[in-house]
Amino acid sequence: MLKIFLIFLINQNASSIIKDAEKLFQEGKYELSRNLYKKASELKIHPLQKYRILLRISDIEMEYLNMYDSALENLLYAKSLFSENAYFQDEVFYRLGVLYEKMGNYKKAAEYYQIVITKFRKSKYWKDAFDAVERCFRKNVPEYVAKIGEIYITLPELEKEIENVPSFARPKDEKAKAEFLDKIIERKMLSLEAKERGLYLKSSYIEKISNFSENILINTLWEEVSSEVKVSEEEIKKFYLEHIDDYKIPEKYKFVRIEVKEKGVAEDILKRIKKGEIIESLAVKYSIAPDAKNGGIVDNYTKGSYPKEYYDYVSRMKINEVKIFENKENKNFAIVKLLEKTPEKLRPIEEVKDAIERRILNEKQKERWEELIKELKEKYKVENYLKENVR
């Protein structure tokens, strides 16, 4: 009987959180809504209820927050709760298709849409999935995006040009991409006109090409010399041990805070929290701290993080403990609930091995290049007359 009563209480609590989360969503507070749904999903509830909450979280992450990696993680978790043949799993497979299409992985997207088509013929998503497969196929096949005379520019060529510019300068939407393509068209068009006029025969052009070729040869030499440099396992282990402090992840905390001006107000809010009200919702309503709109959540907090004056209190608290203290810096009163505490840990060598290898490799390549310069000065009997005159 007690077990049934506890299950009832948990379900009531979950329903209350979901109701608050949906209200926040309707108000356009998507991140806070997502956080409350996440909280509900962590309760010991029926797998089917957890499944539906995870779908809701992934929808918010995909459509409103652009949190594609997190959405993928939640969808795969939801899929793992039941057999892939369960009649309702079309919900997950269709969303996976939508997600991968948003991420630009059209091949993977088409695979998930295909599962909906073949396994869930009565799905409400069947027609959309059918259309999506064809759409993804078209996107995955090279298309012409421009024509200059008899020269065509394909979509893969455009994408390669975009990859070659710094990330901050890359087009962020379709309009910017069209303008970027205009610049490519202009460049190729001017090049065609210059060739048409025979300007490649001019001495100034030939001289510049010669200089350019020299730089290409030097870059090719660098690539060859660099490729000869290797990093051993022993060097990686030695570097790791010598720089062990660089790979320590400090103790981290996640908590919710509400800051108010008066102690009496803080005590009243604490009573409401202890009666079961959601602290994140109260933070949005009452907190004067800058993170109030996000439910007062402070994440990845470490010693030295802002707000610094919280560390002495938070570091001594237990998980889910709620306390009031006076913020000495601004004289406000803070109600704090500790949500998570991650102890200090050392990143294993397997996790940082590639980064260490690149760092050692860069240093060794630089050293090898400097050695080569010295060797070549001997080989070619180099004499710098200006340098000698300076002496």
C-alpha to C-alpha distances, 259 to 36, 278, 324, 333, nearest whole angstrom: 20, 15, 10, 6
226 and 323 inside one domain: no
367 and 232 inside one domain: yes
- Is 353 part of a structural domain of the chain? no
Query: How far, in Å, CA of 29 to CA of 64, rounded?
Result: 10
Structural domain count, the chain: 4
Structure-token pair, residue 291: 């993170």
Looking at residue 141, what is its pLDDT?
A: 58
Choose among 257, 277, 260, 275: nearest CA to 323. 257
Query: How far, in Å, CA of 151 to CA of 147, rounded?
Result: 6
Looking at residue 65, what is its pLDDT?
A: 87
293 and 258 inside one domain: yes
Write the single-letter amino acid at 39: K
Angle at 293 between CA 290 and CA 298, to 5 degrees: 60
CATH number of the domain to which 338 belongs? 3.10.50.40
Query: How far, in Å, CA of 164 to CA of 352, rounded?
Result: 27
- Is 162 part of a structural domain of the chain? yes
Looking at residue 160, what is its pLDDT?
A: 86
Write the single-letter amino acid at 130: F
Predicted confidence (pLDDT) per residue in 102-136, tens digit: 888 888 998 999 999 999 989 999 999 998 887 88
Neighbouring-strand partners of residue 335: 258, 324
pTM: 0.41
C-alpha to C-alpha distances, 90 to 45, 78, 121, 193, 339, nearest whole angstrom: 22, 12, 10, 56, 34
- Ordered per-residue pLDDT tens for the chain, 391 residues: 433 333 433 455 788 899 998 998 888 888 999 999 999 999 889 999 999 999 999 999 988 888 999 999 999 999 999 999 999 999 999 999 999 988 888 889 989 999 999 999 899 999 999 988 878 876 665 567 888 877 778 787 888 899 988 888 899 888 999 999 999 999 989 888 888 888 878 888 888 887 888 888 899 999 999 999 999 999 999 999 999 988 988 899 999 999 999 999 999 999 999 998 999 999 999 999 989 998 999 998 988 888 788 888 898 999 999 999 888 888 899 999 999 998 988 989 999 999 999 999 999 999 999 999 999 989 988 888 777 666 6
6 and 132 inside one domain: yes
Write the single-letter amino acid at 319: I
128 and 18 inside one domain: yes
Q: Strand, helix or coil at 186?
A: helix
- Is 356 part of a structural domain of the chain? no
C-alpha to C-alpha distances, 299 to 196, 251, 372, nearest whole angstrom: 62, 12, 50
Query: How far, in Å, CA of 116 to CA of 128, rounded?
Result: 10
Q: Burial of 210 by CB count in 10 Å (0-12 exposed, 13-18 middle, 19+ buried)?
A: exposed
Looking at residue 124, what is its pLDDT?
A: 92
Residue 194's domain spans which residues?
145-201
128 and 22 inside one domain: yes
189 and 113 inside one domain: no
54 and 131 inside one domain: yes
Mark 17-56 as b/e (b = at least 16 C-beta within 10 Å): bbebbeebbeeebebbbbbbbbbbbeeebeeebbbbbbbb
- Is 355 part of a structural domain of the chain? no
20 and 44 inside one domain: yes
